[in-house]
Amino acid sequence: MSETAAEFLDVDGDRIAVRRRNGRAPGLVWLGGYRSDMLGTKAETLDAWARETGHGSVRHDYSGHGESGGAFEEGTISRWLGESLAVFDKFTEGPQILVGSSMGGWIALRMVQELNRQGLGERVAGLILLAPAPDFTIELMEPQLSEAHRRDLAEMGYFEEYSDYSPDPNIYTRALFEDGRANRVLDGIIETHCPVHILQGMADPDVPYAHALKLVEHLPADDVTMTLVKDGDHRLSRPQDLELLTRSVAAMVEQTG
């Protein structure tokens, strides 16, 4: 169990659970993946690194995830983005490194866009993206939808699909797909104005490494590094993967601190 106790922030009527560790800048902001929570292995590893090095860290559960309130089925990229921005505004100060895993990589990229639009882009010192899945609804899922999936979306507004990561099925809603189109980032140049380090497993069955290469093409103006893990899967949670993660965080802190 995590050393840090959960606090709660009301965002649009939902109680969003947050765990934070005060410390020096740049701090770390963890952004988890679809149906993951802030007590997962990678999030806990980052918190331990922050404790050992004296850096600040913040993590939260999206609505419908983990310790947060709200219905998972009502979640969209826009909703989870809004919650992440609210947590960032309330619980962080000074420059932060956004660490986004899978869908959290999409959220991180959208956060940078929104913060830049608000004139707060300097608050993001860097991005570390693990198996990033920007635009996954459009780019990765829609081309693979079966006729049964499309029928369920049209008639019921959702479909269920089992995965290797949970005994319960994933639920994908029509609202998630429609909202995903409104949050696309792979439709033009992404200007983060900060260094970006992508960690990607080449044996990832969920987000192929070609998707990470495509993301790099949309980051032409930034300092982008990509590390390909030849036998790495989607989770990147093995001891050697976690060591790579903390080394990458330490290097970015040194670069931006």
> pLDDT tens digits, the chain, 257 residues: what are they?
567 899 999 999 999 999 999 999 999 999 999 999 999 999 999 999 999 999 999 999 999 999 999 999 999 999 999 999 999 999 999 999 999 999 999 999 999 999 999 999 999 999 999 999 999 999 999 999 999 999 999 999 999 988 777 778 889 999 999 999 999 999 999 999 999 999 999 999 999 999 999 999 999 877 999 999 999 999 999 999 999 999 999 999 999 87
What span, in angstroms and rounded, lies between the C-alpha atoms of 104 and 156? 27
- Asked whether residue 129 is assigned to any structural domain, the reply reads yes
151 within some domain: no
Q: What is the CATH number of the domain that holds 56?
A: 3.40.50.1820
Let me know: does 99 contact 28? Beta carbons within 8 Å: yes
Q: What letter would DSSP give residue 139?
A: I
User: How many distinct structural domains can be found in the chain?
Assistant: 1
Using CA atoms, how far apart are residues 34 and 31, in angstroms rounded to an integer? 10
Choose among 207, 191, 213, 187: nearest CA to 104. 207
140 in any annotated domain: no
